[in-house]
Every structure is written in C-alpha cells, then in structure tokens.
Amino acid sequence: MEGQNDFHINWNEFKDLNKEKIEETAQNILSKMTLKQKLNQLSGDNPLLLGLLADGIRYNKEPYPTGGEPELGIPPIQFTDGPRGIVLNESTCFPVSMARGATWDIELEEKVGNIIGIEGRSLGGNYYGGVCINLLRHPSWGRAQETYGEDSYHLGEMGAALTRGVQRHMMACAKHYACNSMENARFKVNVKISERTLREIYLRHFKRCVDEGVASIMSAYNKVNGKFCGHNRHLLRKILKEDWKFDGFVVSDFLLGVRNGAAAVNAGLDIEMPYGWRMRPKKLYREIYNGNIPLEYIDDSVLRILRKKIQFHDIGNPNLYRQDQVACKEHIALALEVAQKSMVLLKNERDYLPLDKDEIKKIAVIGELADTPNIGDKGSSRVYPPYVITPYQGIKSLLNDSAEVICNDGRKQEEVIQVVKGVDVVVIVAGFTHKEEGEFVFSKGGDRDSLTLKEKDERLILSISQINKNCIVVLQGGSAIMMENWNKKVPAIIMSWYSGMEGGNALADIIFGNVNPCAKLPFVIPKSEKDLPYFDKSAKSIEYGYYHGYRLLDKESKEPAFPFGFGLSYTNFEYSNLKVEDEEISPKDKLRVSVTVKNTGNMDGEEIVQLYIGYNGSKVDRPAKDLKGFAKILVKKGESKNVEFELDPRDLAYYDEEKSRWVIERIGYSIYVGGSSKKTELLKKEITMK
C-alpha cells in the first residue's frame, strides 16, 4: 500500500458549515488521503473474532466504531442500534415502532427521535441504525414490530419524523433497503418484483426519508430480482444514488450483508458493518490492484462518509449529552405518553369501558403475560430499561388499595375458574413474546406460523368469558392478531402491543379513563388468512405483487375484521362539509381539501383524520383507494375543527415501466376523507385532472 502523509485535520474548525463548504472540505480531506487511509473508512474497526465474542456476551453494549483514522484525526462512526430506544447500556424503552405507527402522530414520533438522539450521544454514539421502514407485506413477518405498518405513505411520514428528531443530535440510518419483509429466509430469499411495484410500493418510503436528509441507508440481506441487496447495482447506484440524488452513505446489514467485497463496492455499497470481513482493506487493495474495482468508486464512497462526518460533527447541544439524561424523568414521561397514545381500542360493546374505579371492589388480571415484563424482541433491537411496568403492576398502582387486585397466570384451570367467579372485572392479557415472533436466532423468534393466538390463550378467553361476562382482553404483539374464534364473547378488546417500560401504567390509564384512547391500526386485520398474500417463511424465492393489506382486500371486495386506520375512542366524531378548492386541476396545481370534524361525545379526544385517493379510468391497474394524507387533531367535547390537506399532483402519479418515469394521468380522481379506510364511512368528492 501507499506510504503515509503528515496531513492532520482540526475538526474544531468545522462549525456551522453550509452544504457547499461541507463538500469543499470533504473533497480537500479526500485529496490528502492515501489509498490505505481511504480503504480504512470502508469497514468496521473492531477485529472480527473479538467482535463476535463480544456480541455473544451482549450485542451492541458499546458503540461499533467504523472508519476511525488516528493518523489524520478522522473520528469513527459510532453505531448504535434501535428502534425502540438506544440499545447501548441502559436507556429509555419506548413502545415498539408498530405501536408508534398506531399513534399516527408525526410530532410525537419526532419527539421520540429527539430523545433517542440525546440518549445515543450521551452513551457515546453518533450514528443511529434504528429508522426501520420495511413494509409490512404480511403480518406473519417476525420483525413486524420493528416497523410502522403496511402503507408506504404512512411508513414514509413516520420514518421521516424519527429521522428529523434523531438528526438534531446524530446521524440516522434508514433500513433495510429493500423488500425485507420476511425473517426466517432473509439470508437466501430472492424477491421477484416488477419495477412499478418496487418503486411505488416498496421504495417510496425510503425515498421520503432520503428527501428528509437521512444520513445513511442500510442494505438488506435478501436478493431482489436475483441480486443480493448489498450487491444490487440497480437499487444502490441507479435508484438511490443516481435517480434520488442521495448524498449519504450505504452500509451493509451485519456480517452476511456482503458476500463479495468487489461486487458490493461496484454496486454502490460504501461500508461493511460492523467488522471488516469481505471489504477489509487488504482484500479491497488486491481487488483494486487486479483491476476489479475502479478507484473512482472508492473515492465516491469515502467522500460520502466524510461528507456526513463533517455535517454531523458539530450538531446538537453538547450540554445535553450527559449520563443523567439517559432514562431521566422527562424521557420516561414521554415513553408513558407514547404508550397511552399507541394502544388501540378495537372493541367496546355498549361502552363497557372506561371502568369506574369507585365501583370496582375486586379485579383479576389473568394470563402468563399479566405480570411478565414483555417489551418485545430480544434480538438486535433489544433495549435494556431500568424497569418495566407490567399490566398487573399498572392496574394495582392506579387502584392504590381502593380495590383488591388478583394476579393469576391462568395455567391451572380450576384455580382460574374460582378466581374469576368472585371478581367484578377480568383483564385477560394474551399474546406473544420474543419466542414466537422476532429476529430468528436458532429456534426462537422468526416468522409466525399463525395469525391467531396460541390455542391455550384462546381456550383461556373462551372459558373465562363463559363464567364472567365482564372481560377485557388485552393483546400483546407486533402485528395483526386474528380473533374470529372469540371476539364476540367479550365486550372489550385492547391492542396494547409491546408497549415499552411504562406500558402497564398506560394500560391502566386507558382502562380506567384517565386517558381517552386515540390510536388506530397501521394495518388491516383480516377475517381469514386466505385474504392475505401468499407467505412461506422458508421460501427460497417469492413474488411480491402490487397488492397487499387493505388495498388487496379492497380489490377483492373482502370485508376485514378490522379496517386499516380503525380505532375506537371514548367519544364520537362526526365528519361533514368535505370541500375541494377546485374540482378541476392541472398537473401544475395543488390539490387542496378540507373537512370539518365535530366531537359529538362527552369527552375531549384526539382523532386521526385520513385522506385517501381513488383513480377513475386509469389505463393501468390501480387501487380502489390509497392513503395520501393524515392529520391528528385534538377536538374538545362539543367543538368542531376544520382540517386541511394539500397534495402535489405528483403524489397521484404512477410509475410507467416502459417510459421509466412517473406519469400523472389526466383522469378523474375520487377524494375520500374519514376516520378509517372503511369506504362506507368515508366522505367523498370527485375532481378531474385536466
């Protein structure tokens, strides 16, 4: 390799640089670097074997350093994982991303990102790998909990909000690019997909985060149309770097994200994470020497890395980054608020909830998860909070000795029968843990085999509901759970997700009316698994079609058990006065829509107003409707609020494969606005693109 130089960088000079100055500075540093120093930027700093040994003890307890160059004074990237909080050390544990997706709350998610950024910096990180925006194609996916839902628009907006919050303090990485919606077969599966489906359905949310300025993208393990994502030139160079003008860097998924170093660099991958293996400097040097990697690709990668290191070097307020900020009182308060606003009230027969705590003398909390800390997967996303409040603990704390609270794990049937006979209310906590869904590690986790509860949980619900009709079923899990075998037997159902360190307190607040539930499903729950796309968790090859989720059920006129965007409140909202500013618009005009929402109930409440677009007379196959906007509003009892949406006509375009461009059709469009995707409950207006 080349000899060394005596150039040294003073990073303290890099303050408040504009985009042009950042570029100029990065180019200047690059020009002074030897080839060896450049190659050192392209893979993790820790030795492979020592790193694997440390991971075996505990994954990501310390940041993973990458690209530190002491001779030049270039600092390393310090990686920490997510997405429900900072994986390093002990930190605030928020509800999982799917739960946060159910909030539909952009401002709240940005606040989550802000706290994650503060805690990440306080624990020594400068690069957060937790903006997980893979699309939920099928709810059997084991790592569904790590993303926000099934709709690309919703995913993009939530991911962009997390990115904004985190990047006040550190670099953020959006992952896993692309078509990573299966777990067990993630290392081998080949996803076959049309260019239109790829661009419209599986990449649009990544484009949204790129437009938001995300510093980095992580490639996925799987293949797309025959090429591993880390070696996929079409995904990395053509779409991401050329079409989208992405100016950040691309990292591999860990360990097996790169199979061939030269192929990865040539395709557009910039860093192998978290250790140098296929892309370690000596290997790449040989490939360059043999003419297998152009030097301009190395320079491009290093320039991208330097650009972001400079941009984020002086970001944030140094006074914030202290150990006492981690899992502090204010951060835990936000974790509680997120949990409160993420729980979805799916059923509330005859307004059974909220309970009046003054009328409750004895309540039973039943199930193996009733008093089990259950914050989600124990794979790479695992967070270590200082404590976890279980459902039983939350209910007992809220009642504060005003009622007797009995906890039973539900394993002994005769014992359970005696308990539930003598109580006013039964709270049944059922669902999953990291053993049934999550990152696939040996025999644990992975993709689910069924969308129903475990048989023993269903038997427990059915037997208890026959003895005591005052049942509330609380579901813990990361995606859709089908309830057709028992949902008519109980008056109330709450989807509580993996709700973080304060989940038990949030659940109690909702059950007893301290908080009015406002969350809505970020996916559809079908009546039958036959209504969903084909899923084979062991597949070597699978085709991803244009339709899934609510759009597939719409297309096939199937009635869901619970629609996309559905969730109940303790109050009622009435929609009226849907207006469009112009019933005829041109491709250069903005589409402006407004609607009035009135709270007709007796409690203040938050409502998630949803805007969908339908396509009339299109020359290509298009959905009956798809989400194009949403807004969360607080409406006090008796109050009315006007909600406005503005769309760019480009939001209505489809991708023309023959012309390789986006096309805005001059056709009729249906505007739908309401409180869920259920068509019969949506207001409708028609416009024409002239």
- Catalytic positions are 253
Q: What do you get for the CA distance between the two ends of the chain, in Å?
A: 63
Q: Which three-class secondary structure string do you get for 253-312? A: CCCCCCCCHHHHHHHCCCEECCCCCCCCHHHHHHHHHCCCCCHHHHHHHHHHHHHHHHHH
Which token pair is 390?
């279980």
| Contacts of residue 642, Cβ cutoff 8 Å, sequence gap at least 6 | 577, 594, 595, 596, 597
Burial environment of residue 6 by CB neighbours within 10 A (0 to 12, 13 to 18, 19 or more):
exposed
H-run or E-run covering 408: strand 404-408
For residue 512, what are the contacts with CB-CB under 8 A and spacing of at least 6?
354, 355, 356, 357, 398
Q: Locate tokens 């950040």: which residue?
A: 248
> Residue 249 forms beta bridges with which residues?
216
Nearest 5°: phi and psi at 287? -65, -40
Say if residues 246 and 218 touch (Cβ distance below 8 Å).
no
Ramachandran area for residue 127 (φ above 0: left; ψ -120 to 50: alpha; else beta): beta
Phi first, then psi, for residue 16 (nearest 5°) are: 55, 40
CB 104 within 8 Å of CB 512: no
DSSP structure class, residue 113: H
Distance CA 381, CA 86 (A): 9
**128 close to 114: Cβ distance less than 8 angstroms:** no
Region of residue 85 (phi > 0: left; psi between -120 and 50: alpha; otherwise: beta): left
Determine whether 79 is exposed, middle or buried from the number of CB atoms within 10 Å of its CB (0-12, 13-18, 19+). buried
Cβ atoms of 274 and 44 closer than 8 Å: yes
Q: Identify the residue whose tokens are 């739908």.
A: 672
Q: Are 592 and 687 in contact (CB under 8 A)?
A: no
Residue 368: CB atoms within 10 A of its CB come to 19
- CB-CB contact of 186 with 196 (8 Å): no
Residue 648's nearest CA partner among 668, 660, 632, 664 is 664
Nearest residue to 675 (alpha-carbon basis) of 577, 604, 572: 572
How far apart are alpha carbons 116 and 130 in whole angstroms?
Answer: 10
DSSP state of 420: H
Helix axis angle for 152-166 and 106-122, nearest 10°, is 40
Q: Is 442 helix (H, G, I), strand (E, B) or coil?
A: coil
Q: How far is CA 419 from CA 320, 407, 456, 620, in A?
A: 50, 9, 18, 60
Strand partners of residue 615:
669
Rounded to whole angstroms, the Cα distance separating 657 from 307 reads 34
CA distances in angstroms from 51 to 47, 86, 281, listed in the order given: 6, 19, 17
Query: Taking the mean position of all CA atoms in its chain, how far away is CA 659?
Result: 32
Amino acid identity of residue 528, one-letter, is S
Residue 683: left if φ>0, alpha if ψ -120 to 50, beta else—which one?
A: beta
Burial class of residue 603 in the structure, from the number of CB atoms within 10 Å of its CB (0-12 exposed, 13-18 middle, 19+ buried): middle
